[in-house]
Amino acid sequence: MSVMRSALLTVLAASVSLTVVASGQPARSSRFDVLITNGRIVDGTGSPWMRGDVGIVGDRIAAVGRLTGAGAAATIDATNLVVAPGFIDLLGQSEFNVLVDSRAASKITQGVTTEVTGEGSSIAPVNDRLVQEAAPSAKHFGVAQDWRTLDDYLRRLGERSHPAINMATFVGAGGIRNYVIGKDDRPATAAELERMKRLVAEAMEQGALGLSTSLQYVPDRFASTDEIVELAKVAARYGGVYFTHQRSESSRIFESLDEIFMIAERAGIPAEIWHLKAAYKANFGRMPEVLRRLEAARARGLDVTANQYPYTRASNGLDACLPLWAREGGLEKMIARLNDASERERIKKDMADSAAITWENQWYGAGGGDGVMIASVLNPDLRKWEGMTLTEIGKAMGKDPRDAVMDLVVADRGESSVIISIMDETDVQTALKHPLVGVGTDSGAQAEDGKLSESNSHPRAWGSFPRILGRYVREQHLLTLEEAIRKMTSKAASRVHLTDRGILRPGMMADVTIFDPASIRDVSDFGDPKHYSVGVRHVLVNGRRVVSDGVITSERPGRPLRGPGTK
């Protein structure tokens, strides 16, 4: 509460005296930097909308209500528009992309003003070996790798890169494991675990929101529950939270949920499941039971929730189609296996295994080559394959689609991404309706022009938030406008302890999204993804307009947001 009081006092001290009379009308001497008038205000709490105005002074909201007669340096007429807190993307993945293109264009055109990132392998801390592993992408996009600690990165973001959106990040347990151990499949020694715990503590002190894992992938997959608990205890000491891409989203999803609940309980830490899903056809229809188990965990005192993106297809690296053992040890060892004829045959056999339990067999789960489409590549010589399924690519190459997978992984040195058909629309809608489930895109910012437009991407990077507001709120009435916006704003802010964002209220930061409820919709699709959403008219980040009348401006007011452990 002290943070909120301090924020409010700052606003009142910085503004020309704002006096509110009993009727809710401010004195005529009041003056705002920006005054948003006549809007349908949805404040982010879930409360019913109201007609009113929002006054902004500097980077904070100074007044909400009927502000007739107030003066302002700039006025935005929000007649027939919804005025909401800026949307918070709970898994944005733009930590590198904003260094390439600071506009975060596909995000701000959705109304996103703050992004949370750092899934499993965060942008920092890194050592020289990890910098070298990331060098091909950095070189391609012209990004100088001049940070090592999280503090280095956040300082660069705030002092030099100046993105359009606010950025906050977790420290990834997988990245920490890679830093200390590498990508070997073995337990951490006692000394290694202590070093990992020190790195987590340092990242928390420098601004991490908490600890994250991505337990389907290398090297996170090699961490035991006990190892994760020990790292999560460190994050909890600093007031952090635990977010996870759980170990199984398919046949072992219930066991995976039990692991999350165990970590939350043993570490004494709030937990959230990223991009909740019931993956692969054999598991369609399990979402109601997943949600019941979440409810039961909360009923026994565990602070556990989830988020999702509103699509039936997922996206990750092409190499995730390979069995876990083939990816173990890092890129060079993986490529060596893929170039070995006998190992390739073993890999193909494992990819066809319908009963795999030691790894998430997304190749089989997606229905093989028909369900796996190349989304993006780094090597421009491979760009011709983007937008094609592996069945189509295999046919064009004259080989088994599984061999095509391995050839592409080698040719692009593990940089290719895919879109995989693995979810059921009924499950997506069931999760979306549930009050415990929030929203994240699980994709980095993209653009219709510039370096980030070179390759294709998943439509979720372009349209997740407008898709919910257009398709599921306006057209299907799956949930109310107020509830959808609560999920996108105050719910998200509260999960990561952003106490000054997510609600339209005096004293809060002036992150505001103004959209047309009659026209907002996603335009991007899987066949033609590179299109901004429509219907978002104005977006303010820290009181400055990054979108004005539907057009991206030159403003770059985003800030690095540091977590609760910052000294």
Do 94 and 220 fall into the same domain? yes
Q: Give the helix ranges, DSSP H, for 242-338.
A: 253-267, 287-299, 324-327, 331-338
Distance in angstroms (rounded) separating the CA atoms of residues 180 and 330: 14
pLDDT of residue 12 exceeding 50, the answer is no
Those residues whose C-beta lies under 8 Å from the C-beta of residue 36, and which sit 6 or more positions away, are 53, 54, 55, 56, 75, 76, 78, 83, 512, 514
Distance in angstroms (rounded) separating the CA atoms of residues 418 and 407: 14
pLDDT of residue 18 exceeding 80, the answer is no
User: How many structural domains comprise the chain?
Assistant: 2
Under DSSP, the state recorded for 83 is: E
Residue 391 lies in a domain: yes
Domain boundary among 421, 443, 470: 421
Q: Which helix (H) or strand (E) holds 191?
A: helix 190-206
Domain boundary among 421, 449, 469: 421
Residue 372 lies in a domain: yes
Do 215 and 362 fall into the same domain? no
Do 360 and 388 fall into the same domain? yes
Residue 387 lies in a domain: yes
In this structure, what token pair is assigned to residue 386?
Answer: 């983007």
Residue 360 lies in a domain: yes
Measured between alpha carbons, how far is residue 446 from residues 187, 206, 503, 528 in Å?
37, 28, 27, 13
pLDDT of residue 525: 97
The long-range contacts involving 361-364, CB below 8 angstroms and separated by at least 24 positions, are 361/323, 362/279, 362/280, 362/316, 362/320, 362/321, 362/420, 362/422, 363/321, 363/402, 363/405, 364/280
Taking only the tens place, the pLDDT of each residue in 80-89 is 999 999 999 9
3-class SS at 389? strand
Taking only the tens place, the pLDDT of each residue in 500-522 is 999 999 999 999 999 999 999 99
pLDDT of residue 135: 97
* Residue position matching structure tokens 């294709």: 456
pLDDT of residue 357: 87
Do 108 and 245 fall into the same domain? yes
Domain boundary among 482, 497, 512: 497
Region 297-316: what's the mean pLDDT? Answer: 98
3-class SS at 309? coil
pLDDT of residue 77: 98
Q: Residue 397 in contact with residue 407, Cβ under 8 Å?
A: yes
pLDDT of residue 75: 98
Do 404 and 327 fall into the same domain? yes
Q: Which residues pair with 22 in a beta bridge?
A: none
Do 166 and 258 fall into the same domain? yes
Do 152 and 214 fall into the same domain? yes
Q: Residue 241 in contact with residue 305, Cβ under 8 Å?
A: no
Do 327 and 258 fall into the same domain? no
Do 372 and 341 fall into the same domain? yes
Residue 553 lies in a domain: no
Residue 54 lies in a domain: no
Q: Residue 107 in contact with residue 165, Cβ under 8 Å?
A: yes
Taking only the tens place, the pLDDT of each residue in 115-174 is 999 999 999 999 999 999 999 999 999 999 999 999 999 999 999 999 999 999 999 999
| pLDDT band for position 23 (cuts 50, 70, 90) | very low
Residue 28 lies in a domain: no
Q: What is the CATH number of the domain that holds 282?
A: 3.20.20.140
pLDDT of residue 88: 99
Residue 477 lies in a domain: yes
Distance in angstroms (rounded) separating the CA atoms of residues 280 and 360: 10
| pLDDT band for position 21 (cuts 50, 70, 90) | very low
Beta pairing class for 313-317 and 417-421 = antiparallel
Beta pairing class for 304-308 and 271-273 = parallel
State the residue range of the domain holding 282: 87-314+423-497
| pLDDT band for position 347 (cuts 50, 70, 90) | very high
Do 246 and 189 fall into the same domain? yes
Do 145 and 283 fall into the same domain? yes
Do 385 and 442 fall into the same domain? no
Query: CB atoms < 10 A from the CB of 367, how many?
Result: 16
How much is the mean pLDDT over the chain? 94
Taking only the tens place, the pLDDT of each residue in 388-407 is 999 999 999 999 999 999 99
Reference 226, options 268, 184, 193, 182; nearest CA is: 193
pLDDT of residue 252 exceeding 90, the answer is yes
Q: Which helix (H) or strand (E) holds 486?
A: helix 481-488
Taking only the tens place, the pLDDT of each residue in 362-394 is 999 999 999 999 999 999 999 999 999 999 999
pLDDT of residue 221: 97
